[in-house]
Amino acid sequence: MGLIWGIPYLFIKIAVSELTPASLVFLRTAIGAALLLPVAAARNDLGPLARHWRWIVAYTFVEVAAPWFLLSDAERRISSSLSGLLIALVPAIGAILAWATGSDDRVDLRRVAGLGLGFLGVVALVGLDVSAGDIGAVGEVALVALGYALGALIISRKLASLPLFGVVASSLALTMIVTRPSASRSCRTPCPRPRSSLPSASSA
């Protein structure tokens, strides 16, 4: 699970050394849309989405377009491991949003204590690996976690009756279309390289 969870953040870290965040988001969504859209169309999963297009757009923004861009931008300044760790806040944020918006789940002391302990654990670990210059990037990843939590809430509250395969395929396609104008732009100046924990030759 840890390996599967961490690999995408590592690949993003490598990719943003050569690509702009918008270009990376376009490439990711283009590949996903190319794979999923034909399957969704063959399963007739796209037709039912038309009447719910507003919530599809909202889901696309909070779950794919904004988070993927923010995450790509943040990983130019912080490590991939720190990004993955911050995303671990998604369940806690999701629980808070669900309770705040009238979820049927009962709030009890055990759940509150569990969420609080998990949150403090993430804060403690992040605090060991954050410098003053990283605060903006940490804030971006925190917004990513909020977006992922909002996306799950939209799925459960507004799009639960729709085929999930079609929702995901359409969200990838919409993000691909929006980011297409930026896809052909490479970095006009050299992109920041991922930080290395190894000593440089000059410091050796």
- Model pLDDT, residue 190: 47
**Over the chain, what is the mean pLDDT?**
83
Please indicate, yes or no, if residue 196 is contained in any of the structural domains: no
Residue range 38-46: mean pLDDT, rounded: 95
Residue range 99-109: mean pLDDT, rounded: 73
Structure tokens at 53: 């297009």
Q: Is the pLDDT of residue 192 over 90?
A: no
Please indicate, yes or no, if residue 193 is contained in any of the structural domains: no
Number of domains forming the structure of the chain:
1
Q: Is the pLDDT of residue 185 over 70?
A: no
Q: Is the pLDDT of residue 169 over 60?
A: yes
Q: Is the pLDDT of residue 13 over 70?
A: yes
- Model pLDDT, residue 131: 64
- Model pLDDT, residue 30: 96
Least Cα distance to 65 among 180, 202, 158 occurs for 180
**7 or 12: which carries more pLDDT confidence?**
12
**Residue where the block lists tokens 């403690």:** 124
Domain with 89 in it: 12-181
How far is it between the farthest Cα atoms of the chain? 63
| Res. 199 pLDDT band, cuts 50 70 90 | very low
Please indicate, yes or no, if residue 199 is contained in any of the structural domains: no
Residue range 8-31: mean pLDDT, rounded: 92
Cα separation, 55 vs 166, in Å, equals 13
Please indicate, yes or no, if residue 24 is contained in any of the structural domains: yes
Please indicate, yes or no, if residue 201 is contained in any of the structural domains: no
- The pTM (predicted TM-score) of the whole model is 0.80
Cα separation, 31 vs 171, in Å, equals 13
Instruction: Name the least confident of 44-48, 69-73, 161-165, 186-190.
Output: 186-190
Please indicate, yes or no, if residue 5 is contained in any of the structural domains: no
Please indicate, yes or no, if residue 17 is contained in any of the structural domains: yes
Q: Is the pLDDT of residue 189 over 70?
A: no
| Res. 2 pLDDT band, cuts 50 70 90 | low
Q: Is the pLDDT of residue 136 over 80?
A: yes
Structure tokens at 204: 């050796």
Question: Using an 8 Å Cβ cutoff, are 183 and 23 in contact?
Answer: yes
Amino acid letter, 194? P
Please indicate, yes or no, if residue 74 is contained in any of the structural domains: yes
Least Cα distance to 130 among 84, 78, 70, 81 occurs for 78
- Model pLDDT, residue 160: 93
